[in-house]
Amino acid sequence: MDLSTASLFSLRDLIRRKEIHPREVVTALAERIAARDSGTRAFLQADTERALAEVENFDPETPLAGLPIAIKDNINVLGHPCSCGSRFLAGKYTAPYDATAAVRLRRAGATFFGRLNMDEFAMGSSTENSALQATTNPWDPTRVPGGSSGGSAAAVADGTALAALGSDTGGSIRQPASFCGVVGMKPTYGRVSRYGLVAYASSLDQIGPLSRTVDDAALLLEIMAGHDPHDSTSAREPVDSLVPGSVEDLKGITFGIPREMDREAVAPSVLKVFDEACDHLRSLGAELCDVDLPASTHAVAAYYVIAPAEASTNLARFDGVRYGLRCESPADTLDLHTRSREGGFGPEVKRRILLGTFVLSSGFYDAYYQTALKVRSLLRREYATAFSRADFILTPTAPEPAFPLGDRTSDPVSMYLSDLFTIPANLAGLPSISVPAGFTVDERPLPVGIQITGRAFAEASLLRAAKAYESTTPWHQQFPYKED
């Protein structure tokens, strides 16, 4: 059987009918990693022996029936290394507990197989900020997979993972999903517990799935969602069934396109795919209208005040004392902190810590941080108004397809603008999904995704809309390789 095109649902059905065993799935994935990952370099570790031992006691009646799920390397899984793509933790930290998301997946029968590369501490849009290795895009090895969950997106696209977990602070699930041609979903803030996720920006971070189909993403989200007493920001909203099942059309559904979406800022090849997607949604019975989100034009600026401010606080715990890298022979406590952080953090992490410390400092707190929070509040109100006219907000996921490796490493601002369309949903705390929508017409075609954003805690309707689009288009069935 061709695992590279199989969904979690189809494999689960085969397992329950005893046509295959989860050990066969793990073994096949290990062989695929050995054959392909030397080029893509999505995996930091694939622990085949541990996974094979776990699946021997699987329960076929659980929702995941022993199926292996790969994990972004900032989510704690008991006994597994957790490096966050940083020298600070690489080889120096093994998770002493399970993240709540991991607990719930494990109870649902999942086997954890593989730690996936990422931008250091989730700070980046290309996975080039990883201190451990550079991951490439399976569709074109000269291009980035996106970030910060680039390893997760690349592994799913390359057929080395059935599905994966990522984290999304400003687009870190959706943007790489678009670049790699897979499904990526950020839930409503508070829908999935952050307990066990190494914090970047605590008011923005969310764990979410990357997968080959909307149904698979919905299944993983349904398992992980729900209140968790370990996380004070975890919502108490009830979790309904999220798997869409059969969806025939979009009659009576309205998609709002922000007037502020600057078409000139979008690559022509992406704009062409987006316009074709709009036409297809109309053919399914949907209506499209304009909505106003003027504060979205300030979203990137507000994000790069709020997120670094929270990061500067969250990363203060990496001090060379409690865990992780420690410099040799420090002269005193200040020297210990200074040299440990200097040697452990990469350039982008240092940049954001410095920026965050600056905007929180005396004399600048009101001018920058408080102003950014006001923009965030205004954006939330504008989304509420927009949802009085439209059921969903529709944009490209990213303003361009995957860009060449090294193209933006010396220009942080151009890198930050990769998240132009994804950041607003994080600031507003809304659920948002990227689904494959087509390819550029370049000599080497690259995937392009569309982004659908919904009302808070309306993941079920959002997933149904995404499924209606997916089930009537061929893009999720395209793969960057051919079976040997």
pLDDT at 484: 44
Instruction: Note the pLDDT tens digit of each residue in 299-355.
Output: 999 999 999 999 999 999 999 998 899 999 999 999 999 999 999 999 999 999 999
- Euclidean distance between CA atoms 169 and 191, whole angstroms: 14
CA angle, 453 then 348 then 152, to 5°: 50
Nearest residue to 423 (alpha-carbon basis) of 221, 168, 199, 234: 168
Place of tokens 């494990």: 106
Element (H, E) at 186: strand 183-186
What does the pLDDT average to over 347-372?
95
pLDDT at 444: 87
Q: In what order do the strands lie in the sheet with 206-211?
A: 43-45, 111-116, 68-72, 164-168, 206-211, 183-186, 432-439, 447-453, 392-396, 254-258, 287-291
- Asked if 172 is an active-site residue, the reply is yes
- Asked if 148 is an active-site residue, the reply is yes
Element (H, E) at 16: helix 8-16
Average pLDDT, whole number, for the chain? 96
pLDDT at 482: 62
CA dihedral 321, 325, 327, 331 (to 10 degrees): -10
3-state secondary structure of 191: coil
What does the pLDDT average to over 418-436?
98
- Euclidean distance between CA atoms 105 and 292, whole angstroms: 39
Is 236 buried (19+), middle (13-18) or exposed (0-12) by CB count in 10 A?
A: exposed
- Euclidean distance between CA atoms 50 and 74, whole angstroms: 19
- Euclidean distance between CA atoms 413 and 469, whole angstroms: 33
Q: How many residues does the chain have?
A: 484
Nearest residue to 75 (alpha-carbon basis) of 167, 155, 145: 167
- Euclidean distance between CA atoms 311 and 314, whole angstroms: 5
What does the pLDDT average to over 381-401?
98
pLDDT at 4: 76
- Euclidean distance between CA atoms 76 and 32, whole angstroms: 25
Token pair in block for residue 416: 């930050």
Taking residue 2's Cβ as centre, other Cβ atoms within 10 Å add up to 9
Instruction: Note the pLDDT tens digit of each residue in 52-83.
Output: 999 999 999 999 999 999 999 999 999 999 99
Token pair in block for residue 270: 């992406």
pLDDT at 171: 98
3-state secondary structure of 173: coil
- Asked if 72 is an active-site residue, the reply is yes
Whether the per-residue pLDDT at 483 is higher than 90: the answer is no
Place of tokens 């707190």: 365
Strand stretches in 237-363, DSSP E = 254-258, 287-291
Whether the per-residue pLDDT at 263 is higher than 90: the answer is yes
Catalytic residue among 72, 83, 178, 418: 72
Instruction: Note the pLDDT tens digit of each residue in 194-245.
Output: 999 999 999 999 999 999 999 999 999 999 999 999 999 999 999 989 999 8
Write out the residue limits of the CATH 3.90.1300.10 domain(s) in the chain.
Answer: 3-253+396-477
pLDDT at 283: 98
Catalytic residue among 4, 7, 86, 148: 148
Whether the per-residue pLDDT at 409 is higher than 60: the answer is yes
pLDDT at 369: 96
pLDDT at 55: 96
Instruction: Note the pLDDT tens digit of each residue in 128-175.
Output: 999 999 999 999 999 999 999 999 999 999 999 999 999 999 999 999
3-state secondary structure of 75: strand
pLDDT at 261: 95
pLDDT at 481: 78
- Euclidean distance between CA atoms 31 and 47, whole angstroms: 12
CATH class of the region 3-253+396-477: alpha beta
Q: What's 323's DSSP letter?
A: S
Catalytic residue among 83, 125, 130, 172: 172
